[in-house]
Structure 1
Amino acid sequence: MKVGDLVKNLDALDRCDLGLIVKVKPPSADDWLSRYLVQWLDPPEGRAGTSWNSDKWLEKV
Structure 2
Amino acid sequence: MTYSFEERLELLLEHELLQRKVSNANRLRRQSKLRLDAQPSQLDYRPEPDGCRYTDGPASA
Bin the TM-score by the shorter chain: under 0.3
* Structure with higher helix content: 2
TM-score normalised over the length of structure 1:
0.18
The structure richer in strand per residue is 1
Flag the structure with larger Rg.
2
